[in-house]
Amino acid sequence: MRRNPGLVVGAAMVALVVVIAVISAFWTPYNPTEVSPNRLLPPSANHLMGTDGFGQDIFSRVLVGARSCLLVGVVAVGIGALLGVPLGITAAVKRHSWFGTLIMRATDIVYAFPALLLAIILAAARGSGSTLTAMTAIGIASVPAFARVSRGAALQVLSQDYIVAARSAGITSGGIAVRHVLPNIAPVVLVQVSVSFGLAILAEASLSYLGLGTPPTTPTWGRMIYESQPYLYSDLNLALWPGLFIAIAVLGFNLLGDGLRELVDPTLQDLDR
């Protein structure tokens, strides 16, 4: 742990985002969607981060934005992991059959398909941009990463003696996949969860920036940057704060992922001892 500062810093940054998300559920200094005549105020004691073009308190909006940022991460990564991990394990178990190949080629196709384009198509199909559409699109786009990572890890686990021993005890391939492969690849999947979480937050910010993400009534960091565009030259303040928090969240999850990877990787672990 001492030699893994990335893990500590990353965890602290993620914790900060989680804490402000929790705080925002109970308390914000102002109603984050309340429009007031106090437009474009600089940071002050009354408005810690100033106000935006509609007179809304930026600090309150940043706090609330943490909530949707985490929600997007959880749902998108959840979709990615719940679909990708079983697909990857199945592909590993069925590696010698056409079915395993089919799974991996199908995920390759999804992998090659740009996530933004997918979100635009989904948004078009559903009529308008909504948080759910964005989350689904980001989730689907992260399925291949989960499938590949878990297939690779599962292949390694499947070649272990205890898998042969489990098979010799009569445990079926389904039982082996659920009870023996899944727990053994969990650390690797956890690393991917952390990395994908950062990517999902960034993707949601991009989608919101393009107006494809959350509706205007829900403040998100990406949307706040989008709305700050007319004032970029006069009031940088509007884009600075949400941008800073996007950076904190994405960097935090990536550092956490890298730190976890170092913790999980047996070769690096041996060096530590």
Partner 1 sequence: MIMMSDELLRIEELSVRFAGSSRNALEKISLQIGRGERVGLIGESGSGKSLTALTIMGLLADNAKCRGSIRWQGRELLGLRDAEYSRLRGEEISMVFQEPMTALDPTMRTGRQVAEVLRLHERAPVGKARPRVLEMLADVGITDPQRVADSFPHQLSGGQRQRVLIAMALINTPDLLICDEPTTALDVTVQARVLELLRSGLDRAGSALLFISHDLAVVSQMVDRIAVIYQGRIVEAGTRSQVLENPHHPYTAGLIATADLANVAPGARLPVLDDFWKRAADGQR
Chosen residue from 96, 112, 127, 266 binding partner 1 by CB under 8 A: 96
What spatial distance separates the first Cα and last Cα of the chain, rounded to whole Å? Answer: 12
Least distance to partner 1 from the beta carbon of 188, Å? 13
Per CB under 8 A, contacts with partner 1 among 144-163 are 160-162
Indicate the residue among 109 and 169 with the shorter CB distance to partner 1: 169
Applying CB under 8 A, among 4, 28, 130, 184 the residue interacting with partner 1 is 184
Q: How far is the CB of 185 from partner 1 (least distance, A)?
A: 10
Handedness of CA 21, 18, 185, 104 (dihedral sign): positive
Query: Is residue 173 at the binding interface for partner 1, with CB under 8 A as the rule?
Result: yes
CA–CA gap between residue 269 and residue 61 (Å, rounded)? 42
| DSSP annotation of 240 | H
Contact 211, 226 (CB under 8 A): yes
Q: Is the dihedral of CA 211, 221, 250, 22 positive or negative?
A: negative
φ and ψ at residue 28, rounded to 5 degrees: -135, 150
Distance between CA atoms of residues 69 and 89, nearest Å: 29
Taking the least distance from each CB to partner 1, the nearer of 193 and 207 is 193
Q: Which amino acid is at 95?
A: R
Task: Give the interface size with partner 1 as a residue count (CB under 8 A).
Answer: 20
Closest CA to 57 of 98, 24, 95, 12: 24
Regarding 100 and contact with partner 1 (CB under 8 A), the answer is no
247 makes contact with partner 1 (CB under 8 A): no
State in angstroms the smallest separation of the CB of 268 from partner 1.
18
| Interface map 75-94 toward partner 1 (x if CB under 8 A) | --------------------
Give the residues lining the site for partner 1 (CB under 8 A).
Answer: 96, 160-162, 164-173, 175, 179-180, 183-184, 186
